[in-house]
Amino acid sequence: MNKKIKLLYLLLGTCFALGLSVFFWKIINFNYNFSEEIKGYYLENNLSHQNNLIKFATVVSFSVLTFFLLLKNIYYKNIKILNLNGHFIGDTSRSNNISKIIVVIFLFIILINYLSRDLIVYKIDYFHEGLTLSYALNYLSTKEIWVNSYLSNSIFSDIFSAVIPWIFLDNISVGSYRVFHDFLRFITEIFVIFFIYKLSFVYNLKKKEHNIFLILLLFFSISLNRDLTETFYPFRYRDIPIFIMLILSINFLKFDKNLYITPTLIGFLSFLSLFWSLDRGIYFIVAIIFLFMLAMLKKRYLAASLLLIGFSTSLLLSIILFGSTEIKNFYINTLNVVKYFDLYAGSSYPTVFDLKNSHSSRGSINLFIIIVNGFLLSLFLLKSNLRLTENSKIYFIFFYFISILMYKGALSVPDSYHMKQSIFLSKILLVSHILYLFLKSKYISTNFYLSIIAIVLVFFISIKNFTTFDLYNIKNFKKINYDYIKLSDDNFFDESYLNLKKLILKNYNINCIQIFSYDAIVPYLTKKKSCTKFNFLYLVSSQNIQKRMIYELSKKSPEIILFNRKYEFLNLIPVEKKIVNVFNYIELNYYKDRDYENWTIYKRK
């Protein structure tokens, strides 16, 4: 069979598989089948909240598996793929001093960018920032975490990302919180750089090719990371545990460096990653399970044991640090969020066929990127002349697995923001594979000038994200940050919220405040702790959680409850229609004391 016929068979088979995948996507639509009616898109449209995940798994696995089988049978029939049952032999670690210099240069660039940044005063995000600021204030008042706060994500994201700068900078303010978030962005970029540096060694490139690969991928990765850093929702730092996992797993899977430290550290970081970011922490633990299984297959019993020892130590330390009561509440809180989140927050994943959905193009492109990554992984596993070691191939399987795990966020909440954030690792994987194939092509590898042209092109494409240089800001970095930290919080609030604050503090002598609204910012605004642990009502959904909130309301008997009749900051189900039982309790036990704009203040009877 000549090359053209082989290629034609491969293309036709792949197109047929993709076409069938589209058919599967269209026909997979299960009805709502959850044991309880949770108000949200799925209940409203009688659709299963697991449709997105089932469609995604079916389409990606069928497309990639079909391509793999076609490629193997047409081109690589007699190729042995991987010897997963054999004993592990670590690859030789190579040193490259020039690559270290490249890393230092990029670290210097991002430092200059960080010191040069302008601190802009923009209005607060009453929903996302309100959650953290109010729960942080609640923690300072009660010294309790899950016992007194029903968290959305993690203790770092929801509490300590505000508490740490408040304590360290000795100032409870929005400015302190935002300055710390800028610092976290800078730290995240450092982890991105070190991850790309470590990743560059997995491809086994020659020194010249390696350096070009590193420069191009660093430009792309930092630029992409900055494009994803939204002002209104600056949570890129949540990915740090995943970067750490990907960095450490290179030592674990490819080089077997730090024989005892690496697996122990991976296991030890498991629960710590949960406290940094709940969803990333869950992915981290799933990745540990994957690594444990690989270690057992490779007869690396010591490494597998050290993973378990690190994991057990992390769990034990968490119990000692927080206490059994807090850990019990953490478990209940986490279980409820994981169980119900998709039901009240999710919607159908948009594809190119959803013409009325503004996110359909992004959804389709992201799916295509993930499938193409699977195709490239198939090629790397089968093509023997790419100079990739078996350990490198196993790492790419692991990296692909992690990138798919990370996309779960987009399947849960398929809006523009979550799709952009969740596809980050898949884009890094795609570009790094393409760069590798580009540098390994015969024409490019023998023509150094083409590589230089490629660097120049990528530089000019990415330059808009690296041009932040302001000598005045660098010289006055301390003063600029100090002035921002000391800014009055009034600068960050709309007039209506400031007037609401004055109204409450003037007319009511209260020690705590309870909201029946998505206005999570109100406790921080009034500098009052929340009367119950339920301040972020976006999370309150099931009958059991409503019962728990009603129990706390009856026990704590807050003097007033603030209700927003017309919440306009985000397009959400009106809170009185979402958690009806709680609203009925309020109507029965409280009376309307006064109205102000969209708010109604209920007072205890």
Tens digit of each residue's pLDDT (9 = 90 or more) over 9-22? 888 888 888 888 88
Identify the residue with better confidence: 463 or 310.
310
- Which amino acid is present at 225? N
Are 266 and 253 contacting, i.e. CB atoms less than 8 angstroms apart?
Answer: no
The residues with which 600 forms a beta bridge, in sequence order, are 563, 595
Q: Specify burial of residue 15 (Cβ count, 10 A radius: 0-12, 13-18, 19+).
A: exposed
Q: How confident is the model at residue 182 (pLDDT cuts 50, 70, 90)?
A: very high
Q: How confident is the model at residue 291 (pLDDT cuts 50, 70, 90)?
A: very high
Q: What is the pLDDT of residues 266-277, one digit of tens each?
A: 999 999 999 999
- Runs of H (alpha helix) within 229-299: 240-250, 261-276, 278-297
Instruction: Please say if the pLDDT value at position 60 is more than 90.
Output: yes
Q: What is the pLDDT of residues 121-134, one digit of tens each?
A: 989 989 889 999 99
Query: Lowest mean pLDDT: which of 160-174, 324-338, 431-445, 516-530?
Result: 431-445
Q: Specify burial of residue 367 (Cβ count, 10 A radius: 0-12, 13-18, 19+).
A: buried
DSSP structure string for 80-112: ----TTSPP-PPPP---HHHHHHHHHHHHHHHH
For range 517-533, the mean pLDDT: 94
Q: What is the pLDDT of residues 398-441, one digit of tens each?
A: 999 999 999 999 999 988 888 888 999 999 999 999 999 988 87
Instruction: Please say if the pLDDT value at position 463 is more than 70.
Output: no
Distance (Å) of CA 27 to CA 24, 30, 117, 416? 5, 9, 50, 24
228-237 burial: b if 16+ Cβ within 10 Å, else e: bbeeeebbbb
Residues near 123 by beta carbon (within 8 Å), at least 6 away in sequence: 492, 493, 494
- Per-residue 3-state assignment (H helix, E strand, C coil) for 184-218: HHHHHHHHHHHHHHHHHCCCCCCHHHHHHHHHHHH
Instruction: Please say if the pLDDT value at position 43 is more than 80.
Output: yes
Q: Specify burial of residue 272 (Cβ count, 10 A radius: 0-12, 13-18, 19+).
A: middle
Rounded to 10°, the helix 261-276/278-297 angle is 160
Gap between the Cα atoms of 180 and 485, Å rounded: 10
- Which amino acid is present at 166? W
Predicted model pTM: 0.92
Gap between the Cα atoms of 577 and 333, Å rounded: 23
Q: Specify burial of residue 120 (Cβ count, 10 A radius: 0-12, 13-18, 19+).
A: exposed
**What sign does the CA torsion over 269, 270, 272, 276 have?**
positive
Q: How confident is the model at residue 599 (pLDDT cuts 50, 70, 90)?
A: very high
Q: How confident is the model at residue 469 (pLDDT cuts 50, 70, 90)?
A: confident
Place of tokens 């900055």: 226
